[in-house]
Amino acid sequence: MKKLYGVTTAMVTPFDESGKVMVGALREMTEFLLARGVHCLYPCGTTGEMFLMSSEERMRVAETVVRQTAGRATVYVHVGAMDPEETVRLARHACDCGADGIGVVTPIFFGTNPEAMFRYYVRVLQAIPRDFPAYLYNIPQCAANDLTCDVVRRILDACPNVVGIKYSLADMVRTYEYLEIDERFEVVQGADRLFLPALAMGCAGTVSGVSAVYPEPFVKVYESWRRGDIAAAQKWQRLANRFVEALGAGANMALFKCGLKRRGLETGHMHAPQIDLSDAEAVALCERLATLETSMPEGLLVPYVRDAEGVSC
């Protein structure tokens, strides 16, 4: 069973002007990330504008990433949807298409009580094979619902395929409380700036949106941490944080898509009702990123370059 660890990149979804998934561009993004050493991929999450896609489009994204990765990294597909039955459908598809596991966000927008939260997860997780791993996904600042430790414990008792949680609120106390639930229950932090502190607390890694654009400093944080070079890990975390701040910490994916274009990738457009950056905003962002890039070691930030067949990085 493969689990999330190290740098798990929350992937951007490229859309054309009509809002359709650009499959070729998605394959190139996958290659870009794999070549830069990320450990796991997480398509169809918040960074991927998941709720703006149809289920068929989400399935297409999942299939594309799984096939392009071809076992070279762990792939967990986020499957949470507004309708529990749609979540089940996407979860079963992720299993059938060869993903290594799934992430399932809490119910969103409409308030839920602890019993409703428990029943939701049991409905979804008992509808897939017992050996197909799943991460719970708690992002209360967007979902308007929180997944408490007490409910997590109930879910674990009922659903043995739950192996961890992706927690995307910058709350280190709750992160610690999740870590204390069970030694086999893994926690991955979704706040990019807390990657190194989360590792120090015992988290398995991060699910990072900014690493979709600048994976290199995040990979360096993890590599430094693994070899016990804390000073180097701190240096790389500080560098990573500068890119996090420049890219708005995930508040606007249009910044991510502009940054990826700077790196040589075709990212298409935001999915309506979201909008792309204006020309002036794009110029200002690229100027700031150019300045930040000069603080990185020479040769680390290699731009994406297509070969004669259109697939290279």
Residues 109-135 pLDDT 10s? 999 999 999 999 999 999 999 999 999
Q: Which of 300, 198, 289 is nearest to 244 (CA)?
A: 289
Q: How many helices (H) and strands (E) are present in the chain, helices listed first?
A: 12, 8
Mean pLDDT, the chain, whole residue set: 95
CB 100 within 8 A of CB 65: no
Residue 88 falls inside a structural domain: yes
Residue 51 falls inside a structural domain: yes
- Does the pLDDT at position 305 exceed 90? no
Residue 310 falls inside a structural domain: no
| Structural domain harbouring 262 | 6-293
Residue 146 falls inside a structural domain: yes
Per-residue pLDDT, 308: 47
**Domain count along the chain:** 1
Answer with the residue of higher pLDDT: 236 or 304.
Answer: 236
Q: Which residue has the tokens 């930030």?
A: 301
Residue 313 falls inside a structural domain: no
Residue 117 falls inside a structural domain: yes
**Where does residue 209 rank: exposed (0-12), middle (13-18), buried (19+ CB within 10 A)?**
buried
Residue 14 falls inside a structural domain: yes
Q: What is the CATH number of the domain that holds 39?
A: 3.20.20.70
Residue 312 falls inside a structural domain: no
